[in-house]
Amino acid sequence: MTHPQLLEPGAELERVATGYSWTEGPAWIPARGVLRFSDIPGNQILEHDEADGTTTQLTGDAEFTNGRTLDPGGAIVECSHGRRAILVDRDAGRPRSGDDAAVYAPEVLVDRYGRARLNSPNDVVVKSDGTIWFTDPSYGIKRPIEGHAGEEEYGDRYVFRFDPSDGSLTPVVIDVEAPNGLAFSPDENVLYVADSSIDPPDRDHPDPERPGGHSIHAYDVLGGRHAKNGRALVEVSPGLPDGFRVDTDGNLWSSSLSGIQVFSPDGKKIGDIPVPEKVANLCFGGRDGRTLYICASTSIYRIRTTTTDAHTGRLMGG
C-alpha cells in the first residue's frame, strides 16, 4: 500500500505515450512545459508536450543518450553512451517554432578522465554549487543496443564530480560495482547511488569475481565535495534500482521491476505504485512539479502526487 499522503486523492496511473524500445532519461523542462526522454535502442530523443498531449522527435541521431537533468540556468545536462560524454543543451528551454524546432546541438562538457575516455555516462545530477555529478558504468560499451563497443579505459566504473569552473574531474565514489541512478538529499548532505550490477554490463561474459547487487547506497557529503561513509540503504526488489528521485521530504522514489517503490530517508518502504511495464527511470514535472512521469520499457506513464522533486523544487522557486 502506498502512504496516502504521497499521492493525490483519486490519483490514477495514465499512459501518455507508447511505441518505443526502452525509454530512459526523463527530465521536465518547465520553460516549455515538456518532458524530454530517450528511447535508447531507437537512438532517439523525444519530447512530450503536457498541454496538447503530443510527442515529437527531437533527434533521430541521439548517440544513445541516457540520463539527464536540469541545471540552475535551465539548460539540460545529458549523458551520452555513444559519445562517452556529458553534454549540455543550453537551448533546451528556449521556445522553438518551424524549422527551428528541429535544432538540437548539445556541447560536450567532459569526455575523458585524464587520457582515458569515460565508459558510458549513465545518469547525472547538478548540485546547487554548479558542479555536475554523474555515474559511469559500462552498459553503453558492453551492450550493442545501448551504444558502441569499447573498453573500460580507466579500468573501473566510478561516480565522478565535474567542476565546470576549472574543468576538474574527480572520482567521488569508487566502491559501487555498477553505479547507475543518483540523487542528493534535499540539503545535499547525502548522496544516493544505485547499484544495478545484479544485471551485469556484459551479460554474455560476466566476471564471476565481481559482485552483483541491487541496492541504493548512501554517502555523507563532506565539505560539499567528498562522498564518505558509504552504506547500503535499501535493497530494491523485484528487479533493481535504475533511475530514482528524491522529493522535498527526503523520500526516495525508485524504479523497479514492479513499478515505483518509495522509501523514507532512513530506508523504510512507505509506498508502492504498480506499473504494468518494467520501470527504468522517473522524474517529477508538470506545471506545479507534482506530476510523476515514469519511463517504463515501451511507454511513458504519469500519476499525480502531493510532492515535488527536491532539486526541481529549488529551480521552480519551491
| Whole-number percent of the chain with pLDDT over 90 | 87
Q: Is 189 annotated as a binding residue?
A: no
Residue 5 lies in a domain: no
Instruction: Give yes or no for a contact between 206 and 186, defined as CB atoms under 8 angstroms apart.
Output: no
- Residue 197 and residue 256: Cα distance in Å, rounded? 14
CB 161 within 8 A of CB 131: yes
CA pair distance 259, 275, nearest whole angstrom? 4
Q: Confidence band (pLDDT; 50, 70, 90) for 4? A: low
- Domain membership flag for residue 8: no
Per-residue exposure over 109-122, b if at least 16 CB sit within 10 Å of its own CB, e if not: bbeebeeebbbbbb
Q: Residue 131 — pLDDT band, cuts 50, 70, 90?
A: very high
Give the span between the Cα atoms of 316 and 113, in whole angstroms. 33
Residue 9 lies in a domain: no
55 in any annotated domain = yes
The residue range of the domain holding 116 is 14-315
Q: Is the pLDDT of residue 1 over 70?
A: no
**pLDDT score, position 32:** 95
Instruction: Indicate if 52 belongs to the active site.
Output: no
Looking at residue 217, its amino acid is: H
| Closest-CA residue to 196 (of 247, 271, 138) | 138
Read off the pLDDT of residues 40-67 as tens digits, 9 standing for 90 and up.
999 999 999 999 999 999 999 999 999 9
Instruction: Report how many domains make up the chain.
Output: 1
Q: Is 71 annotated as a binding residue?
A: no
pLDDT tens per residue across span 204-236: 777 777 778 899 999 999 999 999 999 999 999
pLDDT at 317: 39
More confident residue, 204 or 76: 76
Question: For the residues 28-48, what does the mean pLDDT come to?
Answer: 97
Per-residue model confidence (pLDDT) at position 314: 53
Contact 270, 252 (CB under 8 A): no
> The domain that contains 280 carries what CATH number?
2.120.10.30
Is residue 202 a part of any domain in this protein?
Answer: yes
Looking at the domain assignment, is residue 222 inside a domain?
yes
Q: Which residues pair with 23 in a beta bridge?
A: 39
Q: What is the pLDDT of residue 98?
A: 58
Question: Of these residues, 123, 242, 247, 309, which one is catalytic?
Answer: 242
Q: What is the mean pLDDT of residues 285-292?
A: 97
- Residue 50 placed within a domain: yes
**Is residue 313 predicted with pLDDT exceeding 80?**
no
Is 6 contained in some domain? no
Q: What is the 3-state secondary structure (H, E, C) of the chain?
A: CCCCCCECCCCCCEEEEECCCCEEEEEEECCCCEEEEEECCCCEEEEEECCCCCEEEEECCCCCEEEEEECCCCCEEEEECCCCEEEEECCCCCCCCHHHHHCCCCEEEECEECCEECCCCCCEEECCCCCEEEECCCHHHHCHHHCCCCCCCCCCCCEEEEECCCCEEEEEECCCCCEEEEEECCCCCEEEEEECCCCCCCCCCCCCCCCCCCEEEEEEEECCCEEEEEEEEEECCCCCCCCEEEECCCCEEEECCCEEEEECCCCCEEEEEECCCCEEEEEEECCCCCEEEEEECCEEEEEEECCCEHHHHHHCCC
Q: What is the mean pLDDT of the chain?
A: 93
